Amino acid sequence: MVFRKLPGVSASGMGLRLSQKFVFLLFLSGLVTLCFGALFFLPDSVRLKRIFLSKNENPAVTVGSDNELSKKVPGDPEHLRAGLKGGEGANVKLKVSRKPSVTHGARTVERSVGSRAQDERSPARAQEPAARDDYEAFKKCLLKPALGKNKGTPSDSETLQRREKVKEMMKFAWDNYKRYAWGQNELRPLTRNGHIGNMFGGLRGASIVDSLDTLYIMGLMEEYEEAKEWVQNNLNLISNGEASLFEVNIRYVGGLLSAYYLTGAEIFKQKVVELGEKLLPKPHGLYPNFLSPVSGNWVQHHVSIGGLGDSFYEYLIKSYLMSDKTDQEAKKMYYSAMEAIETNLVQKSPGGLTYVAEWRGGILDHKMGHLACFSGGMIGIGADDGPTEQRQHYLDLAAEITHTCHESYSRSATKLGPEAFRFDAGAEATATRLSDRYYILRPEVIESYMYMWRLTHDPKYREWGWEAVEALEKHCRVDAGFSGIRDVYASTVSHDNMQQSFFLSETLKYLYLLFSDDDLLPLEDWVFNTEAHPLPVIRKTCLQEHGAKHDHGQTDLE
DSSP 493-533: --B---B-HHIIIIIHHHHHHHTS-TTSS-TTTEEE-TTS-
Please give the Cα distance from 67 to 307 (Å, whole number). Answer: 8
The β-bridge partners of 354 are 348
- Residue 247 bears catalytic tag: yes
Strands (E), 227-308: 242-244, 288-291, 298-303
From the number of C-beta atoms within 10 Å of its C-beta (0-12, 13-18, 19+), residue 525 rates as middle
Q: What is the model's pLDDT at position 135?
A: 85
Residues 6+ away with beta carbon under 8 Å from 161: none
* 363 phi/psi in degrees, rounded to 5: -115, 135
Please give the Cα distance from 115 to 123 (Å, whole number). Answer: 15
CA angle 188, 507, 167 (to 5 degrees): 85
Q: What is the model's pLDDT at position 292?
A: 53
- Which residue in the list 68, 266, 314, 419 is annotated as catalytic? 419
Residues 6+ away with beta carbon under 8 Å from 175: none
- Which residue in the list 213, 444, 487, 558 is annotated as catalytic? 444
Element (H, E) at 49: helix 45-52
The β-bridge partners of 422 are 367, 430
Q: What is the model's pLDDT at position 300?
A: 47
Tell me the three state secondary structure of residue 536: strand
Closest CA to 80 of 195, 170, 189: 195
- Which residue in the list 310, 428, 531, 558 is annotated as catalytic? 310
Please give the Cα distance from 142 to 247 (Å, whole number). Answer: 28
DSSP for 54-70?
A: -TT--------------
Please give the Cα distance from 69 to 64 (Å, whole number). Answer: 14
Number of helices (H), then strands (E), in the chain: 19, 20
From the number of C-beta atoms within 10 Å of its C-beta (0-12, 13-18, 19+), residue 85 rates as buried
Please give the Cα distance from 125 to 103 (Å, whole number). Answer: 20
Please give the Cα distance from 530 to 545 (Å, whole number). Answer: 31
Are 113 and 277 in contact by the 8 Å Cβ rule? The answer is yes
Determine the residue type at 329: E
The DSSP bridge pattern shows strands 354-356 and 358-360 to be unpaired
| Residue 200 zone, left/alpha/beta (φ > 0; ψ -120 to 50; rest) | alpha
Are 344 and 418 in contact by the 8 Å Cβ rule? The answer is no
Query: What dihedral do alpha carbons 241, 242, 247, 251 form, nearest 10°?
Result: 10
Entry field: residues in the chain? 558
The β-bridge partners of 200 are 243
User: Any known ligand binding at 103?
Assistant: no
* 194 phi/psi in degrees, rounded to 5: -95, 165
Please give the Cα distance from 166 to 328 (Å, whole number). Answer: 38
Are 448 and 374 in contact by the 8 Å Cβ rule? The answer is yes
From the number of C-beta atoms within 10 Å of its C-beta (0-12, 13-18, 19+), residue 105 rates as exposed
From the number of C-beta atoms within 10 Å of its C-beta (0-12, 13-18, 19+), residue 106 rates as exposed
Please give the Cα distance from 545 to 381 (Å, whole number). Answer: 29
Closest CA to 441 of 468, 460, 465, 422: 468
Closest CA to 272 of 29, 552, 8: 29
Closest CA to 472 of 417, 429, 554: 417
Element (H, E) at 171: helix 157-181
Element (H, E) at 273: helix 266-279
- Residue 419 bears catalytic tag: yes
Please give the Cα distance from 135 to 179 (Å, whole number). Answer: 35
pLDDT tens-place values along the chain, 558 residues long: 322 333 333 333 334 444 444 444 444 444 443 533 332 332 333 332 333 333 333 333 332 333 333 344 333 433 333 333 333 344 444 433 323 333 233 322 222 323 333 334 444 444 556 666 778 888 999 999 999 999 999 999 999 999 999 999 999 999 999 999 999 999 999 999 999 988 888 899 999 999 999 999 999 999 999 999 999 999 998 767 777 777 888 899 999 999 999 999 999 999 999 988 877 655 555 444 444 545 555 554 433 222 334 466 788 899 999 999 999 999 999 999 899 889 989 999 999 999 999 888 778 899 999 999 999 999 999 999 999 999 999 999 999 999 999 999 999 999 999 999 999 988 999 999 999 999 999 999 999 999 999 999 999 999 999 999 999 999 999 999 999 999 999 999 999 999 999 999 999 999 999 999 999 999 999 999 989 999 999 998 898 888 644 444 444 444
- Residue 310 bears catalytic tag: yes
- Which residue in the list 120, 247, 274, 556 is annotated as catalytic? 247
Please give the Cα distance from 304 to 194 (Å, whole number). Answer: 33
